[in-house]
């Protein structure tokens, strides 16, 4: 009787080990898929962020070179900057300081439309440097934000 109980226990132990191994491998596969999807999502966010920053740069050029409807062109800058700001906060590759610089630049473009048109050339340079992958672009953006008179119009 002892041998039959021992064989039953051995079969259960082997079954448990096989089940554990299958479960462990399945868990590793799902973790790998999750990491892969997270990387793809981050890439999509980065593409959207850079696309919107390119639109900001193009909109600033359009504003600076235009003679016509400047209000419409400024509204496009605000819209594209707001969208870029939204994607910036979703990106893991940007530091908190970089996200803060983009957010404050967005706030300035919305809150101070009287001051910002004079500073759009500097803003375009900062945006172009950000698009070129230069850290100084975020520093330039922060310097631009710091140059705004936040108590006045």
Quote the strand ranges of the chain, DSSP E: none
CA distance 112 to 16: 67
The predicted model scores a pTM of: 0.79
What's the pLDDT at 32?
A: 95
CATH numeric code, 41-146: 1.20.120
Confidence of residue 153 (pLDDT cuts 50, 70, 90): low
Say yes or no to pLDDT of 1 above 70: no
pLDDT (tens digit per residue) in 92-148: 998 999 999 999 999 999 998 888 888 999 999 999 999 998 889 899 999 999 988
Query: What SS3 string covers 79-121?
Result: HHHHHHHHHHCCCCCCCHHHHHHHHHHHHHHHHCCCCHHHHHH
């Amino acid at each position: 009787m002892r041998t039959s109980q021992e064989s039953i226990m051995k079969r259960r132990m082997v079954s448990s080990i096989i089940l554990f191994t299958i479960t462990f491998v399945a868990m590793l596969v799902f973790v790998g898929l999750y990491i892969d999807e997270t990387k793809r999502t981050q890439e999509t966010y980065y593409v959207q962020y850079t696309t919107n920053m390119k639109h900001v740069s193009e909109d600033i050029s359009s504003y600076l070179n235009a003679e016509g409807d400047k209000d419409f062109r400024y509204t496009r800058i605000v819209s594209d900057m707001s969208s870029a700001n939204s994607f910036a906060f979703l990106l893991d590759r940007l530091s908190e300081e970089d996200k803060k610089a983009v957010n404050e630049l967005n706030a300035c473009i919305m809150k101070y439309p009287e001051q910002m048109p004079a500073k759009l050339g500097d803003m375009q340079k900062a945006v172009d440097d950000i698009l070129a992958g230069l850290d100084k672009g975020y520093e330039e953006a922060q310097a631009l934000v710091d140059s705004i008179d936040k108590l006045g119009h």
